[in-house]
Amino acid sequence: MYKRAVLWLAPLLALTLYTHLVGVNRGNSDFVPVGRQQSTAFYNFHPDEETLIRAALDFTDPLAPPLTAYGTLSLYLLKFALIGHAPVDLDTPQDAALIFTKARALSALISFSSLIVLWCIGCRWWTPQPTALAVLLFAMSPLAIQQAHFYTVDGLFTLCSLATLYTILRATGSNAWHSYALVGLLIGCTGAVRLNGLLLGFILLLGHFTHTRDLLSNKLAPFKLPALAALIAILSLVAWQPYLVSDPALIWRADSHADFAFSFGIARGTALQTWTLVDVHTLPYVHYLTTLLPQAVGWPLTLAALAGILHIAWRGDREPRLLLLWVVLCFLIVGGLHTKPIRYLFPLLPFLTLFFADLCYKLQPRLGLALAVVVALSTIAYGLAFAHIYTREDSRIQAARWLAEHAPADALIGLEKGAFTLHKLIDGTRAGDLNILSLFYTGPYMLCGQRADYLHQRTQRFEHIALIDVNRYRQFTAVPERYPVAASFYHQLTAGSLGYEQVARFKHYPVLFGIDYHDDHAEPSFLGYDHPTVLVFARRDNFDPAFAQWQRQIAQDPHCPDRVLRNISDALNNNDLPRARQLVEDHLAISPASQPIAQLLAAETYHRLDLPKLAEQARNTYTRPLVTSLRNSPTRHRIPAASAASLVELGLPDLALAMLAEGASESVFYPLGAMSDMADSYIAVAQRLLTDQHLGHMEQVLELSTQLYEKPAAYNTLARSAYFYKNYTRARAMWQRSLALDPAQENIRQALSQLTTETTP
């Protein structure tokens, strides 16, 4: 028996060793951006991996962990693996390369361990042949290969859940107290990776009370053994994460992405983020089965796994059905979430391969063998093709090389920030920020025309633009009804209609024997970690007319509300309140949920109609995102000015001034470092008011800006306004204050010197 098992396992281990370890040190490179004093570099592109590694290095106090979004067991494990190596700066290439390689080797070890436990589970009721099939399919699936190449919690969670389920199957068959104690220990460990691991306790209970000997031959009371396991599970969880007892409020803190409550809110969709926009129109549960699972393992194994599930549910034995119950519980939790990353499928994958192997084993021998061979060969081919990705240099590094060689040395390159950015690969003196993120947070508070103007101001500085398809493009183009300008910008840019032409493209497809597996439309993180598409564009001579033509076109976009909002504001300015009410209610009835400016106009309309309850309701709808999904926005302080600029553009300066005054009063809740930028945004609104000859409003806005942060520009404009109205005393005071802030303003010093008296210039 053991010799046959070795014969089956040996080729599996050889394939697994290759696919899981090839390119484990990927990221080492001889490409170094200009200006950096080093001969080599190390680049990593998996944000979750970097977050875990940095957290493990910073993890010194179990009562105050650096993050709560994940459990601490993954931090302890990596901390132990890195004993004796604690660099001061993880950004040092040599230190980073060593640490990331160790972490990835640990991830590969976890993956191997999962295969061993899966083998042990399968051998409980099968011969080695079907068990080997399940292990092979799991090991060679592209999703498993990718997870083995990065240190994340998904691999560890899969191993812990497999080990726990194996001990559950053994414990419920033996009724030994020490087996139940071990189950409790492992449940606590699984919960210390992810809290939903505690649901394994339900599997234990069901397994305990469905075993024929539990209630008949057990001399102890029926609940004593499960109670023992529950007690040890709680003690185990608290031992790994003592802050759950010492400071349970930490788990509900929602200050950053590192906090569990904040991450859970993102997963549920209560707080949209740029990377969750691709999930807005996906169907719960169905999307995993029709889109993500085929991407993760290929269509043959997807269909085979679904058939295996139906087989276990219909004719499976007790133990496989317990495993199926765990799969169903996990799927019910993750499948209904707003966010649907492909990695959520990974903990389910080993059980899906087991179910299919069981189906092949139960079928007529020739049919089962043929089905197994077809699915195995297709999965092996897809897995080997995917592993080939790690033999090649990352497409982002290749794009950076191209830009270093072909882009003029004095030319700015437009880049995006985000999880899969090129910023770390481009010399800081040449890198410019498109800052599309600003449109994500403040765009809904701007008119479409203003958003297009913003993009024109950003892009006109760049000779080249380099985009990663899954960084921002896929996200914004997935929701054109919410972000029409950003979506259209990306569509027109890639189509060559914005005065830029594509001059280079870098992409590594999974490939085997010269056959490419085209996966351009796969889930963004599945591509972004190791093989995204990088597009490089160069500016043409017709940039200005091409961009101006697009700006005219975007005003006609059916998702842009500018025309309707102007009609509402015209009705308000003409005091045609019934028409204003009809227009705003019709618009809000058919428009997307995020229409904050329309809500402001609705509140103003109801206020003038003396309908206080409706006015308050509309105003609360405007405010709600600011206290929920946008409360941690890095640009929240710009939203009052964004709304005010829209209202000024709509001809409602009084309402704009009220919004700015409200924003200034709430500025105490914003970070102190944001006050300078917030003052600049107020000054920009004042300039627009000046253009429209609303001089009184302009002065009040500038006064508000000085309350936020004193800027010479604000005082200079106030001085010129006072000078125009022959208020020379005020003009003198304003210019003096401006010079106190910036003595180098020679033109202001000359203007001040011309005020020879307090009453005449």
pLDDT in tens, 457-466: 999 999 999 9
- Which residue is it, tokens 């001085």? 719
- Is 656 part of any domain? no
Token duo for residue 170: 């053994």
- The confidence band for 156, taking pLDDT boundaries of 50, 70 and 90, is very high
- Is 164 part of any domain? yes
Per-residue pLDDT at 297 exceeds 50: yes
| β-bridge mates for residue 464, sequence order | 413, 538
Instruction: Kindly state whether residues 53 and 113 are assigned to the same domain.
Output: yes
Mean pLDDT across 288-303 = 96
H/E run at residue 379: helix 365-387
Phi, psi of 506 (to 5 degrees): -130, 125
Q: Exposed e or buried b for every residue in 34-45, given b needs 16+ CB within 10 A?
A: eeeeeeebbbbb
- Name 276's Cβ contacts closer than 8 Å, sequence gap at least 6: 266, 269, 338, 339
**Single-letter amino acid code for the residue at 279:** D
Instruction: Kindly state whether residues 238 and 380 are assigned to the same domain.
Output: yes
Give the pLDDT score at 214.
47
- Is 173 part of any domain? yes
C-alpha–C-alpha distance, residues 233 and 222, integer Å: 18
- Is 645 part of any domain? no
Q: Identify the CATH number of the domain in which residue 611 sits.
A: 1.25.40
Query: Domain ends where: 554, 576, 600?
Result: 554
Cβ atoms of residues 7 and 132 within 8 Å: no
Instruction: Kindly state whether residues 377 and 231 are assigned to the same domain.
Output: yes
- The confidence band for 471, taking pLDDT boundaries of 50, 70 and 90, is very high
Cβ atoms of residues 657 and 644 within 8 Å: yes
Per-residue pLDDT at 149 exceeds 50: yes
CA distances from 750 to 718, 728, 756 (A): 17, 15, 11
Instruction: Kindly state whether residues 412 and 319 are assigned to the same domain.
Output: no
Give the pLDDT score at 757.
53
The domain in which residue 624 lies consists of 561-631
- Is 280 part of any domain? yes
- Dihedral angle computed from the Cα positions of residues 396, 401, 404 and 406, in that order, rounded to the nearest 10 degrees: -100
Q: pLDDT (tens digit, 9 = 90+) per residue, 8-52?
A: 667 778 888 899 999 999 999 988 887 677 778 899 999 999 999
Of the candidates 48, 50, 26, 38, the one whose C-alpha atom is nearest the C-alpha of residue 93 is: 38
- Is 737 part of any domain? no
Query: Domain ends where: 519, 539, 554?
Result: 554
- The confidence band for 181, taking pLDDT boundaries of 50, 70 and 90, is very high
Share of the chain above pLDDT 90, in %: 65
Mean pLDDT across 548-566 = 91
C-alpha–C-alpha distance, residues 550 and 500, integer Å: 13
Q: pLDDT (tens digit, 9 = 90+) per residue, 580-633?
A: 999 999 998 887 556 899 999 999 999 999 999 999 999 998 988 877 777 778
Instruction: Kindly state whether residues 401 and 496 are assigned to the same domain.
Output: yes
Q: Exposed e or buried b for every residue in 589-616, given b needs 16+ CB within 10 A?
A: eeeeebbbbbbbbbbbbbbeeeeeebbe
pTM as predicted: 0.91
Per-residue pLDDT at 533 exceeds 50: yes
Instruction: Kindly state whether residues 602 and 530 are assigned to the same domain.
Output: no
Instruction: Kindly state whether residues 265 and 402 are assigned to the same domain.
Output: no
Give the pLDDT score at 14.
83
Q: pLDDT (tens digit, 9 = 90+) per residue, 356-398?
A: 999 998 888 889 899 999 999 999 999 999 999 999 999 999 9
Q: 224-240 and 200-210 helices cross at what angle (nearest 10)?
A: 160
Q: Exposed e or buried b for every residue in 199-237, given b needs 16+ CB within 10 A?
A: bbbebbbbbbeebeebeeeeeeeeeebbebbbebbbebb
Per-residue pLDDT at 286 exceeds 80: yes
Instruction: Kindly state whether residues 422 and 517 are assigned to the same domain.
Output: yes
Give the pLDDT score at 1.
46
Of the candidates 333, 322, 378, 383, the one whose C-alpha atom is nearest the C-alpha of residue 355 is: 322
Q: What is the mean pLDDT of the chain?
A: 90
Share of the chain above pLDDT 70, in %: 95
Cβ atoms of residues 99 and 87 within 8 Å: yes
Of the candidates 387, 383, 343, the one whose C-alpha atom is nearest the C-alpha of residue 135 is: 383
Of the candidates 716, 708, 721, 705, the one whose C-alpha atom is nearest the C-alpha of residue 742 is: 716
C-alpha–C-alpha distance, residues 251 and 236, integer Å: 17
Instruction: Kindly state whether residues 245 and 198 are assigned to the same domain.
Output: yes
C-alpha–C-alpha distance, residues 141 and 348, integer Å: 12
Per-residue pLDDT at 173 exceeds 80: no
Q: pLDDT (tens digit, 9 = 90+) per residue, 476-502?
A: 999 998 999 999 999 999 999 999 999
C-alpha–C-alpha distance, residues 288 and 344, integer Å: 9
Per-residue pLDDT at 256 exceeds 90: no
Instruction: Kindly state whether residues 337 and 450 are assigned to the same domain.
Output: no
Provide the total of helices (H) and of strands (E) in the chain, helices listed first: 36, 9
Per-residue pLDDT at 82 exceeds 60: yes
Cβ atoms of residues 504 and 536 within 8 Å: yes
- Is 218 part of any domain? yes
Instruction: Kindly state whether residues 354 and 399 are assigned to the same domain.
Output: no
Instruction: Kindly state whether residues 325 and 465 are assigned to the same domain.
Output: no
Q: 318-335 and 299-315 helices cross at what angle (nearest 10)?
A: 120
Question: CA 555, 645, 551 angle in degrees (round to 5)?
Answer: 20
- The confidence band for 166, taking pLDDT boundaries of 50, 70 and 90, is very high
Domains in the chain: how many in total? Answer: 3
- Is 131 part of any domain? yes
User: How many Cβ atoms are within 10 Å of 109's Cβ, its own excluded?
Assistant: 15
Per-residue pLDDT at 85 exceeds 70: no
Query: Domain ends where: 505, 520, 554?
Result: 554
- Bridge pairing between strands 464-468 and 413-415: parallel
